[in-house]
Amino acid sequence: MISPKYAREIPQRYRLEAAKCKSCGKINFPPRLVCPRCKSREFETVRLSNEGKILTYTIIRVSSDTFSHQTPYAVAIIETNDGAKLMAMIADSDLNEIEIGKKVKLVFRKIQDEGVWGLHCYGYKAVLI
Amino acid sequence: MIGIVGYGSYLPRYRVKVESIAKQWGSDPEAIKRGLKLFEKTVPGMDEDTITISVEASKNALKRAGIDPEKIGAVYIGSESHPYAVKPSGTILLEALGIGNDVHVASYEFACKAGTEAMYTAYSLVKADEMEYALAIGADTSQGAPGDALEYSASAGGTAFIMGKQNVIAEILFTHSYTSDTPDFWRREHEFYPRHAGRFTGEPAYFKHVVNAGKKLLEKSNMKPEDFKYAVFHMPNGKFPQIAAKKLGFTLEQIETGWIVPWMGNTYSGSSPTGLSAILDVAKPGDKIFMVSFGSGAGSDGFIFNVTDKIVDVQDKAPKLKEMLDNNKIYLDYGEYAKFREKIILNQ
């Protein structure tokens, strides 16, 4: 059962909420208790830009059972326009069109199903723009 | 003045052509295209459902409305494909949009008119001064059984409307609903696909309700079909809305802009709302719009809109419906379509 963990991550998965350090300005995603750059514990909540670019990516051809019906698919590290880095699946795209540096938009999608009886788990994926 | 302050649509990129479906079942695609006036339809991605479609459509509505999401006091999603049997779709949407928790939420179902139910309730709550803004969505990933005629039409997409009093882009002048117990189409608990009564879905169901709601709306408003620039009716196929328009005295030119069904399919609860979205994309100040939905079971909701001067300020703030309909398409063959729509039984 992943429900408690899933519920705790809703602000990040649904709304891209990050913690901006009030001392040095570093944007932490997901939020941290202590800023890894300046060790401050003071943050403000900000929402990340939903646009960015692909820093790197890989094609998954042999996946875990949860995602096996979606293979082959791409997973990328995205840098958002405000400098945060996050990992996301790339949806709705021809794998041959995916390249490092290409611009993407983060969209709201279903990430996985908890079996046939459990939760639908939602979050962000990237699509090429 | 009360009405729409923001609107937005979302259509998936995937499509399947009538030819691909007809080939699978040994049918003549030309006869289907001629009879139903359908050419292709949208298909949801494997990671898309009524909730994801509603969220993306609502983001576009918020772009046009330019309001703080926390000012929205109600969220109503109309659909016959809510992902959960027990858990409202709107709870997930309100978190995704940052609407906050001080909000009234409900999932509506009334076959293909659940979206206009949401619109009517949202409009009524703003009219009653219960809240500043209310969000109404009609969205579906509709189901058609393999080999059934519905397979050619049942598609995916949706449209969101924010109702309010400030900066109204389309004022709601009149409404009327017409409802009866008509068993033309249904889906029992635990059944995956809906059942329908064939030709009974036509005259005693669709046309009776659309025409009666439309006639009453014209009487109530003391307006004539020629007073309207545009009209949009529920679009279960390409033919029905054309016949309904003629029965009420509207011309094919009046319904042309919102008649998107030949290339989109029937998005059920999102059908006439998405047709209205296509009209609002090109409407000019002063245009009058006539709209009648239909939901099997059966009922119709009618609305008369007056487009205001504000429309030109918002039309370009979010993607337009025709752009979504005509561009970035990914075509699927029948096997891929069957996989996407989970028509293939897999081992768990």
Cα A58 to Cα A77, A95, A99, B244: the distances in Å are 9, 10, 10, 52
Q: Do B52 and A110 touch (CB under 8 A)?
A: yes
Contact B72, B135 (CB under 8 A): yes
Position A1 scores a pLDDT of 53
What is the chain A residue with the closest CA to B86? A119
Contact B64, B317 (CB under 8 A): yes
Which region, left, alpha or beta, applies to residue A92 given φ > 0 means left and ψ of -120 to 50 means alpha? Answer: left
Any residues with CB less than 8 A from the CB of B348 and at least 6 apart, and which?
Answer: A115, A116
pLDDT band at B348 (very low <50, low <70, confident <90, very high): low
This prediction's pTM: 0.97
Q: Over the stretch B162-197, which tens digit does the pLDDT of each residue have?
A: 999 999 999 999 999 999 999 888 889 888 888 888
The C-alpha angle with vertex B251 and arms to B249 and B253, in degrees rounded to 5, equals: 160
Q: Do A109 and B47 touch (CB under 8 A)?
A: yes
The percentage of residues in chain B with a pLDDT greater than 70, rounded to a whole number, is: 100
Lowest-pLDDT choice from A89-98, B18-27, B181-190, B245-254: B181-190
Q: Do B47 and A110 touch (CB under 8 A)?
A: yes
Sort out which chain A residues have CB atoms less than 8 A from B98's CB and list them: 15, 47
Mean pLDDT by 10 residues, chain A (129 residues): 85 97 96 96 97 98 92 97 96 95 98 90 97
Position B146 scores a pLDDT of 94
B209 or B201, higher pLDDT: B209
Q: How far B53 CA sits from the closest chain A CA (Å)?
A: 8
At the topology level, CATH places domain B3-169+326-340 in: Peroxisomal Thiolase; Chain A, domain 1 (3.40.47)
Sort out which chain A residues have CB atoms less than 8 A from B51's CB and list them: 110, 120, 122
Q: Do B51 and A122 touch (CB under 8 A)?
A: yes
Q: How far A55 CA sits from the closest chain B CA (Å)?
A: 23
Domain ranges of chain A: 3-128
| Three-state DSSP state, B146 | coil
ipTM of the complex: 0.96
Task: Locate CATH 3.40.47.10 in chain B.
Answer: 3-169+326-340, 171-311
Mutation to test the B interface, candidates A10, A71, A109, most B Cβ within 10 Å: A109
As a CATH number, domain B171-311 is: 3.40.47.10
Torsional sign, CA A10, A11, A15, A19: negative
Q: What are phi and psi of B276, to 5 degrees?
A: -65, -40
Q: Check: CATH 1.10.3720.10 for A3-128? A: no
Q: Do A110 and B48 touch (CB under 8 A)?
A: yes
Per-chain mean pLDDT for chain B: 96
* Mean pLDDT within B308-312: 98
